[in-house]
């Protein structure tokens, strides 16, 4: 019966998340709001299907682990170092200010100081998922605003991980609260984190790339995906069992190790769709905690929470960024992007309840605050321009805006990928020939290749190459399709060729796309997907054989040319494909 409950819970939660996610997406809201609403819909407090809360929480825990692993994959020290002068003090300052503000407001509403501080910490953390989505939707991810916000959130995440390790040491049954006890707990937390980091980067940094390399050479996509999931979950569980720290930290470090290797992009594109599915279950499980009736009983608590999230946090961030003399628009954008709460907020609150520090109503208030802030966040970000004009046109406020010096980089200007004239998928004989022709014209192409040995050899030779599946839109983005002039599908066996063409066309409507296919019947689909030119190996062979027969028949050159053109036009009419043959070179 338990197996049936698991299947029903998983199926019901995903179907509800899909329905409500589509509805909120159509309304122009974040799908995360839909996932929270789905949790309310399958909770015991609403009629109809009721999911098993315990099972949903267990599935959601996998989502949190994979989510942290994904963040680790995308985390690079260089990006943090580039904005360290604002991200580190800004994140620390905002976290402290939001924690204290939350604690004071909760204490005024009758909570003790311990509960107020833990709740304030939960309010100080923004959602990585929401932040990234807002930045991407507004084309601000690769701008100074995006770099500062992501770096800021990485520091917040690391601080939160430290707090997650520290809280049980401070407040678990049997621990003391003296200064000596607190110092000992903090020191032990630092030692545990340090030991885990050292083990992961020394042992894992040597073992993981070799393990993934061996599996990648096997050519099995299923085994590679399984290896990524096993690493994420295995290191997460080992972190909790061996080092006594949170599974989220272990998963984050595992992601960082993989992210430093040449498998980072492939890991993110092939294994992470499962992360997204389980992350959805996390938000559904959070929505299941929501109780509308209890909100009516504590309206002051809800309003105070929203004040901290929507006013206190962004105001502190705005002041801190302006004090570093960044432009007003950058400061407003960063402040608004952080005016929400998400996954780590709920993890902190859950730990607070387990340690009997927070009342049961805390989770319900957090859910309400998350739903409101996540709903408003994209709308507020789009209103940054109007906010800037209002502040500049109001003399009483404008005089408090410090002069701008922008110490890091020009604000608001996209940090573009290096322009690439051409991107070639596949480094086989055709790809190499195309690359040679492009190089003769002064164009250095970027290759997308799935063969690991080929990628490693090209990198040693200094050839720009991306390791991954071109059928994944993230790989195309990483290769710079958005700024390329032409995309050439030179590989002979691309099962997702039509999808590659569609995705490339969506990223860059003006790009020229040339596709190679083995069979004439596939040419029509490639044309319909947006390819400008399709070259069929089947057609090339037919033309080459026809030319050979005509030559053996002693046909005149004019007749051979006419027949070749006639056959070629028949191919174009029947399939929409372009076919070209040169008797001096092998057919593609």
Q: Is the pLDDT of residue 142 over 80?
A: no
CATH of 2-391, one of 1.10.357.10, 3.40.50.300, 1.10.10.60, 1.20.1530.20: 1.20.1530.20
The neighbour count for residue 344, using CB atoms within 10 Å, is 27
Q: Which residue has the tokens 């304030």?
A: 120
**Mean pLDDT lowest among 203-212, 447-456, 570-579:** 570-579
Residue 577: half-sphere exposure toward Cβ, Cα within 13 Å: 26
Mean pLDDT, residues 480-496 taken together: 81
Local structure of 29: helix, strand or coil = coil
Q: Is the per-residue pLDDT at 153 higher than 50? A: yes
Contact of 83 with 91, CB cutoff 8 Å? no
Q: Which CATH superfamily includes the segment(s) 422-575? A: NAD(P)-binding Rossmann-like Domain (3.40.50.720)
Average pLDDT value for residue range 54-83: 72
Q: Is the pLDDT of residue 185 over 70?
A: no
pLDDT classification of 509: cutoffs 50, 70, 90: confident
Q: φ, ψ for residue 375 (rounded to 5)?
A: -70, -40
Residue 313 structure tokens: 């946090």
Q: Which of 34-38, 242-246, 335-339, 464-468 has the highest mean pLDDT?
A: 335-339
Domain ranges (residues) in the chain:
2-391, 422-575
Least confidently predicted of 32-36, 412-416, 426-430:
412-416
Going by pLDDT thresholds of 50, 70 and 90, the confidence category of residue 360 is: confident
Q: Give me the pLDDT at residue 493, please.
A: 63
The rounded percent of the chain whose pLDDT value lies above 70 is 82
Q: Is the pLDDT of residue 111 over 80?
A: yes
∠ Cα 222 206 151 (to 5°): 85
Task: Output the pLDDT for position 178.
Answer: 58
How high is the pLDDT of residue 314? Answer: 93
The percentage of the chain sitting over the pLDDT mark of 90, rounded to a whole number, equals: 7
Residue with tokens 């200094």: 462
Residue 424 token pair: 């070639």
The model's confidence at residue 188, banded by pLDDT at 50, 70 and 90, is confident
Mean pLDDT score, 401-409: 56
pLDDT higher at 577 or 349: 349
Query: Does 422-575 match 2-391 at the fold level?
Result: no
> For the segment 522-547, what is each residue's pLDDT rounded down to a tens digit?
777 788 888 888 877 666 666 677 67
The shares of helix, strand and coil residues in the chain, as percent rounded to the nearest 5, are 70, 5, 25
Give bridge partners of residue 466 from the DSSP assignment: 448
- CB-CB contact of 303 with 254 (8 Å): no
Average pLDDT on 226-231 reads: 83
CB 71 within 8 A of CB 128: yes
| Cβ neighbourhood burial of 509 (10 Å; 0-12, 13-18, 19+) | exposed
Residue 39 has pLDDT above 60, yes or no: yes
DSSP state of 578: B
Sheet holding 486-489, edge to edge: 465-467, 446-449, 422-425, 486-489, 512-517, 533-536
Find residue 535's DSSP bridge partners: 516, 578
Quick check: 52 pLDDT over 80? no
8-state DSSP, 522 = G
Among 45-49, 75-79, 167-171, 262-266, the range with the most confident prediction by mean pLDDT is 45-49
User: Which strand (E) or helix (H) includes residue 517?
Assistant: strand 512-517
Q: Which two tokens stand for residue 285?
A: 């499980």
Task: Tell me the pLDDT tens digit for each residue of 158-173.
Answer: 788 778 777 776 776 5
Q: How many CB atoms lie within 10 A of CB 11?
A: 12
Strands (E), 152-234: none
CB 536 within 8 A of CB 577: yes
Mean pLDDT score of the chain: 78
User: Which tokens go with 224?
Assistant: 């590679």
Lookup: tokens for 273: 């769709």
Q: Tell me, what's the pLDDT at 413?
A: 37
Find, among 189, 209, 320, the residue nearest to 249 by Cα: 189
What is the rounded CA–CA span in Å between residue 76 and residue 482?
A: 22
Phi, psi of 222 (to 5 degrees): -65, -40
Q: Which of 209, 199, 303 is nearest to 253 (CA)?
A: 199
CA R_g for the chain: 28
Q: What is the pTM of this model?
A: 0.64
Q: pLDDT at position 179, please?
A: 63
């Amino acid at each position: 019966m338990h197996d049936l409950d698991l299947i029903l819970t998983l199926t019901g939660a995903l179907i509800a998340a899909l329905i409500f996610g589509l509805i909120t997406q159509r309304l122009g809201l974040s799908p995360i709001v839909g996932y929270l609403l789905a949790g309310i819909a399958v909770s015991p407090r609403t009629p109809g299907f009721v999911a098993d809360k315990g099972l949903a929480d267990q599935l959601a825990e996998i989502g949190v682990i994979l989510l942290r692993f994904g963040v680790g994959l995308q985390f690079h020290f260089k990006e943090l170092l580039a904005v360290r002068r604002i991200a580190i003090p800004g994140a620390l300052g905002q976290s402290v200010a939001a924690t204290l503000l939350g604690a004071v407001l909760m204490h005024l509403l009758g909570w003790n100081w311990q509960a107020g501080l833990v709740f304030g910490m939960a309010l100080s953390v923004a959602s990585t998922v929401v932040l990234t989505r807002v930045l991407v939707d507004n084309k601000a991810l690769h701008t100074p605003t995006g770099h500062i916000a992501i770096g800021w959130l990485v520091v917040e995440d690391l601080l939160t991980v430290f707090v997650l390790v520290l809280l049980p040491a401070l407040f678990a049954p049997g621990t003391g609260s003296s200064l000596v006890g607190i110092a000992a707990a903090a020191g032990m937390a630092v030692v545990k984190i340090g030991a885990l980091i050292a083990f992961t980067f020394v042992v894992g940094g040597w073992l993981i790339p070799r393990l993934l390399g061996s599996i990648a050479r096997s050519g099995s996509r299923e085994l590679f995906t399984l290896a990524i999931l096993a690493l994420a979950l295995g290191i997460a569980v080992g972190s909790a069992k061996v080092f006594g720290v949170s599974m989220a930290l272990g998963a984050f470090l595992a992601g960082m190790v993989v992210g430093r290797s040449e498998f980072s992009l492939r890991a993110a594109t092939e294994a992470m769709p499962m992360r997204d599915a389980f992350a959805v279950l996390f938000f559904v499980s959070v929505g299941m905690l929501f109780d509308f009736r209890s909100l009516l009983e504590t309206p002051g608590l809800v309003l105070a929470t929203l004040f901290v999230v929507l006013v206190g946090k962004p105001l502190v961030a705005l002041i801190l960024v302006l004090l570093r003399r960044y432009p007003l628009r950058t400061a407003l954008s960063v402040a608004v992007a952080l005016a929400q709460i998400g996954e780590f907020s709920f993890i902190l609150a859950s730990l607070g309840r387990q340690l009997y520090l927070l009342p049961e109503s805390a989770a319900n208030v957090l859910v309400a605050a998350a739903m409101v802030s996540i709903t408003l966040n994209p709308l507020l970000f789009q209103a940054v321009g109007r906010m800037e004009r209002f502040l500049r046109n109001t003399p009483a406020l404008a005089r408090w805006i410090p002069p701008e010096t922008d110490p890091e980089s020009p604000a608001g200007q996209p940090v573009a990928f290096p322009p690439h004239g051409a991107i070639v998928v596949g480094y086989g004989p055709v790809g190499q020939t195309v690359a040679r022709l492009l190089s003769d014209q002064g164009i250095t192409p970027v290759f997308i290749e799935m063969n690991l040995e080929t990628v490693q050899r090209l990198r040693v030779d200094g050839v720009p190459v991306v390791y991954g599946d071109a059928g994944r839109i993230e790989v195309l983005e990483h290769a710079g399709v958005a700024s390329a002039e032409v995309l050439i599908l030179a590989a002979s066996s691309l099962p997702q060729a039509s999808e590659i063409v569609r995705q490339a066309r969506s990223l860059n409507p003006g790009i020229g796309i040339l596709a190679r296919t083995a069979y004439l019947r596939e040419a029509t689909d490639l044309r319909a997907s947006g390819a400008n030119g399709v070259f069929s190996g089947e057609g090339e062979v037919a033309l080459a054989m026809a030319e050979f027969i005509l030559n053996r028949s002693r046909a005149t050159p004019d007749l051979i040319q006419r027949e070749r053109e006639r056959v070629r036009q028949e191919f174009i009419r029947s399939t929409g494909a372009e076919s070209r043959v040169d008797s001096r070179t092998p057919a593609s």
